[in-house]
Structure formats: structure tokens, C-alpha cells
Structure 1
Amino acid sequence: MLRRRELVAVQPRAFVPHTTYSEQGPRVATNYLLDRPVSTAADQVWVGDITYLPLQNGSWA
């Protein structure tokens, strides 16, 4: 039916996230806890991390 009307279906390109630059080699964060005295009680040192997770609907969490 499309050929008879000389129409072409448009296919959207697949989404490919570009978040990693592999040619730079591994980067390691500085460990600032090595220069500190050992903590003696809770709640003296806090650390965190950022992680991106792909969801089933195509978005990121």
C-alpha cells in the first residue's frame, strides 16, 4: 500500500546513550579517607556514589 502511493515509512533511530569515554582509560577517584585518622564513632565520615540505572521504559534513574 505504501509503495503504490510512493510513501516511505520513517523509522526512528535507536537511542544510544553516550556516557562512557573508553579511550581515556580508567579514572580512579582520590581516596581522601587515607589521610584522616580512623573514625572512633558513628556519623563522623560520610561517603556517596552516583550510579545511573537504565529503566524498562527507556529513561534513566
Structure 2
Amino acid sequence: MNKGILFIGGIIFAVYIYFTFWNIFQSHKKQKENHYPELTKTEIFEEYENTNNETSDEK
């Protein structure tokens, strides 16, 4: 009985973690679309790179 409960609890936990990460990735994708609706993925990547280079140069 105890092993069965542990197994079912593990399955529920795994499903919970899966949907948590799925939600994080979907929200991140929507946020990118809202902030940069007219840019392509390459342009967004270049924008992030430029921002990161500027902040590292300031340090």
C-alpha cells in the first residue's frame, strides 16, 4: 500500500512539474511577442546580445 501511494504521488508530482515548466515557457514566449511584435527571432536575439554587451562593458 505504501509503495502504491508513493508511486501515485510521484506521478502527480511529475505532472505538476511538467505543467509548471510548460507554463513558464509559454509565458516567456508570449512576453517576447508582446514586447517585440514586429521583430524576427534573429532581430530579438541580436537585441539581447547588444544589451548584454552594453551592460558588461559598463562594469
Q: Which of the five TM-score ranges fits, normalised by the shorter chain?
A: under 0.3
The structure showing larger relative contact order (alpha-carbon pairs under 8 Å, at least 6 residues apart) is: 2
- TM-score when scaled to structure 2? 0.23
Q: Pick the structure with more helix per residue.
A: 2
Question: TM-score normalized by structure 1?
Answer: 0.23
